[in-house]
Amino acid sequence: MTKDEVKTAVIAALRRIAPEADPASLRSDLPIRDQVDLDSMDFLNFLMELHNALGVDIPETAYRQVATLDGCVEYVAAHGPQPQHR
Amino acid sequence: MAPGDRRGATFASEFRMPSLGADMQAGTVVNWLVKPGDHVTHGDVVAEVETEKGVFEVEISSDGVVDELAVGKGAKVPVGTVLARLRRDGVTTPPATGGAGTIETPVAAPTAAPPAPPAAPAAPAAPAAPAGAAPAHIVRASPLARKIAEAKGVDLANVTGTGPGGAITKADVERASSAPSAQRVETTAAPPVAPPVAPPIAAPTSEPMLAMRHAVAAAVSRSKREIPHYYLGTDISLGAAMGWLAAQNQARAIADRILPAALLLKSVALALRKYPALNGFWTDDAHHPAEAIHVGVAISLRAGGLIAPAIHDADQLSLGDLMRALSDLVRRTRAGGLRSSEMTDATITVSNLGDEGAASVFGVIYPPQLALVGFGKINERPWAEGGMLGVRPVVTATLAADHRATDGHYGSRFLAEIDRLLQTPESL
């Protein structure tokens, strides 16, 4: 998967949780939650969507790393698809 | 039961438009799931009803055979209107009372039907839309944008937002209103024109938003008018709880992870066992504590407004089950599919501002409930303990309670019990 493809998948996952999120106006270097109204449950569901779409399991300790779109893409690139947890 | 009905002995009961929360005044039957002749039993979902807050699956509270459907699909009727009549099927005739029996004896809506919301058309809202399947809809727009959209007759559903998070701004609305293809809102009851292209989801306008605001306004006004609130607040260290949760979650897959919200809900439910006077209702000038602990969870809708469906018997659920119930409730609140019992059974409400919220919330009690527990944002604060100053995750817990039923001393002990429970998270 290229970084662009990962980014597209991340945005798609985000829009499944927050349909009003507009990819065009989303800054990839700023925290997602400053731009899209996500509560902790939404954020968890977003991670679950990422897990389902990309097979990547993001632990709580990495939440800070994946706060931005760029961070998400980098994390997925570094940790790649992982074997299913369950 | 209504003796002396025209149908005499065969007549069993009437199924009425339920009050799905104190802020509901009317609802639209968007779908019937039963037809005359069908046998129904307590708890069956028989209809889908749409209110300002979405589409709900309405359960029936008695057994019988559907005799007639009194209200057709698409009809918007006030709370309490007879929707269907049941006759006995000669098998069972349970008493028409009980916890979930609110369908037959709906909570009285505030007096007579209030004036319709300003822009509500006489015809049922958006009859062309497959409302039965429509999920709770989402349009983000600034208040100013909504105002302008309404004034110019622009349907926000057809406007592309360029604001933060895709929200529709004033400029977007003005652009849309000047564009030749701008979709106009039908401001009268004229049949809606089919849009040239299929909208992504059933098209909302600003009208549902106004109606939602109107409904919330009616409910909170009633609460503040009728319920003498008292307020308490206390800071609770979550050092032990957050540490325990982090260790738990490390071993859990994302789908099984537990949020602090579940821990807080469980602590409230368990504390209520010890302080039952805060759990239940104030109706007919009397205090009616409830035996079961059904915790209403205030969930904000993406489009604005909020809703507080209940998690049944929250005190008896394991943390994992409670988290799943919470997650499911949030999903259905946003996508549709909440059940009427979830809207009517809550014996207390918890408002959790979450990790992006303010430090504390002093809530408005949902009538006829007795109390609302609020939790602000969990954040690190200086914390003195045992003569030492440290940094701990801390949450401010608040209580808004009905002073007719309890007093500040009782409420203080309840909050202290929540604190005590949260210090031993493994026991939750």
- Partner residue facing A20 (CB), from B166, B246, B300: B166
Output phi, psi for B382, to 5 deg.
-65, 140
Cα–Cα dist B129/B127, whole Å: 5
Which residues of chain B lie closer than 8 angstroms to A83, CB-CB? none
- Partner residue facing B167 (CB), from A20, A33, A38: A20
B218 lies in some domain: no
The SS3 call for residue B97 is coil
CA angle B179, B180, B181 (to 5 degrees): 95
Give the strands of the sheet with B82-87, arranged side by side: B11-16, B82-87, B64-69, B39-40
Residues B68 and B141 in one domain: no
B156 lies in some domain: yes
Residues B38 and B137 in one domain: no
Give the containing element (helix H, strand E) for B342. helix B340-344
* Burial (0-12, 13-18, 19+ Cβ within 10 Å), B423: middle
Architecture of the domain whose range is A3-79: Orthogonal Bundle (1.10)
B1 lies in some domain: no
Cα–Cα dist B105/B97, whole Å: 9
Tokens found for residue B158: 């057809």
Contact (Cβ atoms closer than 8 angstroms) between residue B73 and residue B235: no
Which residues of chain A lie closer than 8 angstroms to B139, CB-CB? 20
B125 lies in some domain: no
The full DSSP string for B81-117 is: -EEEEEE--SS----S-STTGGGTSPPPPSSSPPPPP
Domain count across chain B: 3
Domain boundaries, chain A: 3-79
Residues B185 and B68 in one domain: no
Cis peptide before B94 (omega within 30 of 0): no
Whether A21 sits inside 8 A of B165 (CB atoms) is yes
By DSSP bridging, strand B82-87 and strand B11-16 are antiparallel
Which one, of B141, B124, B116, B42, lies nearest residue B341 by Cα? B42
Residues B73 and B159 in one domain: no
Residue with tokens 């919220």: B357
For B217-255, how does the pLDDT look when each residue is reduced to its tens digit (9 = 90+)?
Answer: 888 999 999 999 999 999 999 999 999 999 999 988 888
Which residues of chain A lie closer than 8 angstroms to B260, CB-CB? 40
Chain B interface, Cβ < 8 Å to A: 138-140, 160-167, 200-201, 246, 249-250, 253-255, 257, 259-261, 300, 302, 326-327, 330-331, 354-356
Flag whether residue A58 sits within 8 Å of chain B, measured between CB atoms.
yes
Residues B290 and B369 in one domain: yes
Residues B198 and B313 in one domain: no
Residue ranges making up the domain that contains B407:
227-427
Flag whether residue A83 sits within 8 Å of chain B, measured between CB atoms.
no
DSSP β-bridge partners for residue B29: B49
How much is the average pLDDT of B370-396? 96
Which residues of chain A lie closer than 8 angstroms to B140, CB-CB? 20, 37
Which residues of chain A lie closer than 8 angstroms to B320, CB-CB? none
The SS3 call for residue B179 is coil
Give the containing element (helix H, strand E) for B311. strand B310-311
How large a percentage of chain B has pLDDT more than 70? 70
| CB neighbourhood size of B360 (10 A) | 17
| B388 band by pLDDT with thresholds 50, 70 and 90 | very high
- Partner residue facing A57 (CB), from B253, B259, B356: B253
Give the containing element (helix H, strand E) for A43. helix A40-54
For B11-45, how does the pLDDT look when each residue is reduced to its tens digit (9 = 90+)?
Answer: 678 899 988 877 788 899 989 999 999 999 988 99
Mean pLDDT is lowest, of B106-120, B147-161, B304-318, B361-375, for B106-120
Whether A48 sits inside 8 A of B255 (CB atoms) is yes
CATH number assigned to the domain comprising residue B198: 4.10.320.10
CATH number assigned to the domain comprising residue B49: 2.40.50.100
For B309-367, how does the pLDDT look when each residue is reduced to its tens digit (9 = 90+)?
Answer: 999 999 999 999 999 999 999 888 877 789 999 998 999 999 998 887 899 999 999 99
Torsion over CA of B1, B105, B29 and B76, rounded to 10 degrees? 110
Residues B418 and B363 in one domain: yes
